[in-house]
Chains A and B, each alone.
Chain A
C-alpha cells in the first residue's frame, strides 16, 4: 500500500504577444486577451478552488505559481485571488513551490538567467505571502541530470520530474529518488492524468470518476510516496464545474484518509528517505505523449525561435535598460514556443487548445518579430 501522497498544482498564465509585425516600433502584448482569460480563470477556477482548499481540512498540497501570473493578478487588481493564496499558505497545509518567474526554459541554457528568474519568483512569493519555498519545480517538469545540478546550486531540498520510462526504466514512480544529490519526486502520470485529462471524458471506461474510486486506486498502489501534479486550472477551467470536479476535490482528502493514506506538503515529503538514485541522462518532461522537450523544441521553427531569444540575452543584460530586459524576459515564457508546435493527433489538439492564434506559424512570426524588434532597440 502507498503510505503518502503529495498533491501539487501548477498555477500559471502567460502574457501573450499581440500580433507583432516586424516593422512595428515596439513589442506589444495582447493585454485584452490576457485580461479576458485571467478574469475567466479567476472566476471559474482560482477563487473557487482557493476557497475550497482552505475550507477542506483534510487537504494538503504544494502550489507552484509563476511570477508572471502573480504579476498579472496585481496589474489587474485581482487581490481577491492573491488573498486566497495567502490564506492557503497561512494554514501551513499548503506551501508555495519555487519555479522560474516566467515559466521559462532558462534551465536549458548555461547562463545566469535560470538563477535570476528563480530568485525573482522567490522574492515575489516572499513579499506577497511572507514565506519561502523549499522545493523547486522546473517548467512543465523538465528534468535531467544537468537540471538537478542547477537545483542543487539553487539550494533546494527537492524537485520534481515526470515518472516516465525514459527516466525510471522499470522502477516505480511511487518512491523518492536522488539525482546528483537532489531528492526527486516522480509524478505518477496515470493517476495524475485521471484527474487532469480524463475526468470529464464520457468515452472513458472509468467515467464518471468518484473520489472514492480514485482513492482506492491510490491505496492499491505500492510505494512510499505517490506524487500527483496537475494544472490548477483543472478545477473549473479545463473541466467545467458541472463535471463535478470541485465535489471530487472536496471529498478526495477524506477518502484518502479513510484508506489510510496520508497527504504531505512538499517540505514534509522532502524529509522522506530516498530509495534509490537515478541517472537522468536525457531530458524528460510531463508534456505530450513523448514526455521530452519536443513540445517546445520539436520542429525547426521552435528551435530557431529559441536560439534567437537566448542569443540576445547578453546584449539585453549589457544594455541595462529595465524595460527592454522585462520585455525580453516575457519572451522567454515557454508558452510562446509551445504554441509553435506542429504536432498532429492528440498532442496537436492540446497545443491548439492553448494557442490563442490557432496557428503555429502566426505564433512563431509574432515571437521572432518581437525578437527582431528588441534587437533593433539594442542597435543591431
Chain B
C-alpha cells in the first residue's frame, strides 16, 4: 500500500516511560517494511531517537522543557505547547492519513484532520478511566478522549476490554477495531521450577495496577506458607503499599525495590515463582507477555486486556483477595503447576508479534481510506 501516514506521538525509544513509545517504534518499523511511509511528530524531551526508518519531525518546546537538557519541567504546559506547535509545523504534502496515539496530541490531530481534510485514525492505548482506576477521572482529559474517538474515521483499541470502555464511557461503539500489541521477548528463560518462595509484581505502583490487592492476598496466603512479595517498580502507591504491609503485620515479607533496570528485572523474573498483576483496569499489559515469554507462571486480573487472548494463565477478579491468595498458594505449593504453567504460557506468547499488529493496523488504515 503506497501510503504516507503522519503519526502523532509523544514518547519514543530510547526515552520512554510506558508501552506507548515501544509500540510506536515497533509498529512503524513493520509498517515501513510493508511499504508505508511514516512522518513521525513528537516533542523533543530528554533526547532524540536514533531510529532512521521514519521521518522525524521533532518539535522544540520552549517554556515547558529545559533548553539545554530537554528535561521535562512542566507536563501540562508541554502538552499545550506541543499541540499549538503541531498545528503550525504540520506538513500535509502527500499525507493520506493522520494516525494519533492517545490523547496528548489529540486536539492538534483533530484540528489538522479538519483543516487539511485528511482522515484520522486514533489508537487508544489506555483511557482516563483505566489510569484513574475509575476513581476521580479527570474530566477534561476524558473530554479530549471522547472528542478524539468521535473525530476519527476508525478507532484502534488494544483489547476488547478497552473497546467496551470506549463504547460505554465515550459512546463510540462502531468502527472500533481490536488490535493486540506485539511484544519484545526479554531474552531470559527460567530453567528450573524449584520453589523460590517469591512472588513478583512488575510495573508502575499505581492504583490502576492494583498492588494493594496483592498485599491483602499475601496476608491470607502467608498464614499457610512463607514467601516474599517483591514490587519492582515505582509510583504514587509506594507509600500506601508500605503502610498497608505494616498495618497487616507482613512488612517482613513485602519488599519494595523501586524502579529497577532491565537487567535487574530479568534477574528477578528468573528468581521468582510467579508474576501477579491485579490490575483494576489494564488496557493490554505487555509485561504479562514479557514475563510469560521467560517461562514465568502468571496470575492476572480478569480486567487485564491481554488476558482475553490467553488461556495459559490464572485469572481472578482483582478485588477477590481470597481467590488470589489461593492461586498464589497453589503456585507456591505445587511444583507441577509452576512447571506446566510456565512452559505452556511461554508457548502461548508466540502468537503475539509486532508483524501481526502492523498487519491488523494496515487493515484499519485501508478501511479508514475507503470510508470516504
Residues of A within 8 A of B314 (CB): 359, 361-362
User: What is the 8 Å Cβ interface bit string for chain B, positions 335-354, against chain A (1 contact, 0 not)?
Assistant: 01101110010000000000
Residues of B within 8 A of A364 (CB): 334, 337
**In this complex, what residue of A is CB-closest to B299?**
A361
CA distance A303 to B224 in the complex (A): 24
Name the contact of B339 in the complex, choosing from A300, A362, A368 (C-beta under 8 A): A300
Residues of A within 8 A of B144 (CB): none
Residues of B within 8 A of A19 (CB): 323
Decide if A100 is an interface residue (CB 8 Å cutoff).
no
**A21/B326 in contact, CB under 8 A:** yes
Chain A interface bracket (under 10, 10 to 19, 20 to 34, 35 or more): 10 to 19
**In this complex, what residue of B is CB-closest to A23?**
B224
Name the contact of A369 in the complex, choosing from B311, B315, B330, B341 (C-beta under 8 A): B330
Q: A23-B224, A359-B311, A362-B314 are in contact. Are A300 and B340 (CB under 8 A)?
A: yes
Q: A22-B329, A23-B326 are in contact. Are A361 and B336 (CB under 8 A)?
A: no
Residues of A within 8 A of B339 (CB): 300
Residues of B within 8 A of A359 (CB): 311, 314-315
**A368/B334 in contact, CB under 8 A:** yes
Tally the A-B contacts, defined by beta carbons under 8 Å. Answer: 52
User: What is the 8 Å Cβ interface bit string for chain A, positions 274-292, against chain B (1 contact, 0 not)?
Assistant: 0000000000000000000
**A365/B336 in contact, CB under 8 A:** no
Chain B interface bracket (under 10, 10 to 19, 20 to 34, 35 or more): 20 to 34
Decide if B327 is an interface residue (CB 8 Å cutoff).
yes
A27 to chain B, nearest CB (A): 14
Residues of A within 8 A of B312 (CB): 342
User: What is the 8 Å Cβ interface bit string for chain A, positions 126-170, against chain B (1 contact, 0 not)?
Assistant: 000000000000000000000000000000000000000000000
**In this complex, what residue of B is CB-closest to A21?**
B326
**B337/A22 in contact, CB under 8 A:** no
**In this complex, what residue of B is CB-closest to A348?**
B311
Decide if B263 is an interface residue (CB 8 Å cutoff).
no
Name the contact of A365 in the complex, choosing from B315, B330, B344 (C-beta under 8 A): B330
**A300/B336 in contact, CB under 8 A:** yes
**B336/A301 in contact, CB under 8 A:** yes
Interface residues of B in 296-330 (CB under 8 A from A): 311-312, 314-315, 322-323, 325-327, 329-330
Residues in chain A within 8 A of chain B (CB atoms) = 19, 21-23, 299-301, 303-304, 342, 359, 361-362, 364-365, 368-369, 372
Considering the complex of A and B, which 9 residue pairs feature the smallest CB-CB distances, nearest first?
Answer: A21-B326, A304-B336, A300-B336, A365-B330, A301-B336, A301-B340, A22-B329, A342-B344, A300-B340
Residues in chain B within 8 A of chain A (CB atoms) = 220, 223-224, 311-312, 314-315, 322-323, 325-327, 329-330, 333-334, 336-337, 339-341, 344
